[in-house]
Amino acid sequence: MTQAMLMPEEAPHSCDGFDTLMSARTDDAMEVEPLTRQTSEYVNKSERFYVEKKSFKEQYAQLYFTRLTLLSPRVLETVQESFPGTKVARILELEDGQECIIVGTLYKDMKLKPTILDEYTKERSAEPLVKGSKFISDDDSLVLEDQGARVRLSGEKLDSNKLVTGVVLAVKGTAERDGVFTVSSVFYPAPGPQAALSLPREPKADRSGRYVALVSGLHLGGGANPLPAQLLVDHLCGLLGSNQDQELSAQVVRVVLAGDSFAPGTSSAVSSGKLSKKQQADVKAPLAQLDLALAQLAAAMPVDVMAGPSDYSNVSLPQQPMHKCLFPGAARYSTFQGVTNPYEFDLQGVNFLGTSGQNIDDIYKYCDMEDRLDVMEASLAWQHLTPTAPDTLATYPFSDRDPFIVTRAPHVYFVGNQPAFQTRVVTSAASGQTTRLVALPVFSHSGMAVLVNIDTLAC
């Protein structure tokens, strides 16, 4: 049976209507103006996070001493604003019943905090089978230490559940006969200077302006579906969505990947010794996926890649940039760069400061604060990104500097790999400085990227 028998022959007809429609579509396509991606002035401010000499011969005590030396003047600045003329004494000079102010580094004595000796405990049955996500307990106590001595702190004005080891502060109070210092006031370091913003910052109802895309936790490899990450790349490159979506994509001037681009356990397989062919293929696959994604992004806009705990970089903070040899495709573009963790940069005069999340996750274990934005706000008040390093957070034993001190008040403070997206604008009561806090969710779980408008600081 032929096709002619199945379908009746139709009379010849004109294709003028179809040709007219295609012609109209072609004319419309020709009338659409191509979108031009916006740009912005960029300055990398992360010089202090680069480690030239990687040595662990120094003692960590020197890092605490340096931190106290650098932050003490800023703490005393806050003290003098509130109580000018009040005596500031060393701990060794304390006299019973005399009110004074002492400055030092806080140590939080916590029985639940793990120690290296736990790995060599003979009585394993004495350890709890399930360890909590926090170290706090009712038996915690606070000790303040300066260059010569230490003293135990007490008082209702001192909330031990809101403080962590490594914070430099001043306390006003009275020394008691039992050797305890009763605290009546607490002072933190004065905030660093904040650059004035010359651009108008009035929030607008539309989506005009220039944006920075902040993403964390792609988690490529480990059996994860790479499709969401590819959809994100296509969207940022303007290959998906409506005309309005593509216009918004053209307003993205920079992309920052804030750590954990690889799935947990992916990078650790490399250090396990000789790999089989299958293991080599499993290691290469996520590298190739990320390299392809970065090359596509770098072809459209500047891209910064921060290292995270599951990425191919050192464990100790500050993490150094991942080597370009891992990304041969993306490395061909001048718009691609690996950056440190923490990472600080200026974009059109707006100062960004961010981490991949290790610092906030570690502080979270020391306190009863459940809101990650509260933890971030506390770290800004302490003027230190990683106060718990080197106590429970790995870091290099710096002897002449502490790169984690917040030297300038940022306009945007972002932290990657957090449980959920959160944002808040905080204003310093003392200086009036304003900072946008942004907690970035894990992209592989949420499918969410965050756009920060550098013209209004809206998020």
Q: Which residues contact 256 (CB under 8 A, 6 or more apart)?
A: 212, 213, 214, 215, 303, 304, 306, 343, 352, 354, 414
Answering whether pTM is above 0.85, one says yes
CB atoms within 10 A of CB 265: 10
* Identity of the amino acid at 435: T
Tell me the longest C-alpha to C-alpha distance in the chain: 113
Q: How many helices (H) and strands (E) does the chain have?
A: 9, 16
Alpha-carbon distance of 295 to 307, in angstroms, equals 17
Alpha-helical regions (H) of 32-101 = 61-82
Per-residue pLDDT of the chain (459 residues; tens, 9 = 90+): 444 444 444 444 444 443 443 444 444 444 557 789 999 999 999 999 999 888 788 889 999 999 999 999 999 999 999 999 888 999 999 999 989 999 999 999 998 888 766 655 545 444 443 455 899 998 999 999 999 999 999 998 888 999 999 999 999 999 998 889 999 999 999 999 999 986 555 555 567 889 999 999 999 987 778 899 999 999 999 999 899 999 999 999 999 999 999 988 776 656 556 777 777 777 888 999 999 999 999 999 999 999 999 999 999 999 999 999 999 999 999 999 999 999 999 999 999 999 999 999 999 999 999 999 999 999 999 999 999 999 999 999 998 999 999 999 999 999 999 999 999 999 988 788 999 999 999 999 999 999 999 999 998
Taking the C-alpha atoms of residue 179 and residue 194, their distance in angstroms, rounded to an integer, is: 40
* SS3 state of residue 344: strand
End-to-end Cα distance, the chain: 66
CB 182 within 8 A of CB 173: yes
Location of structure tokens 């650790």? 268
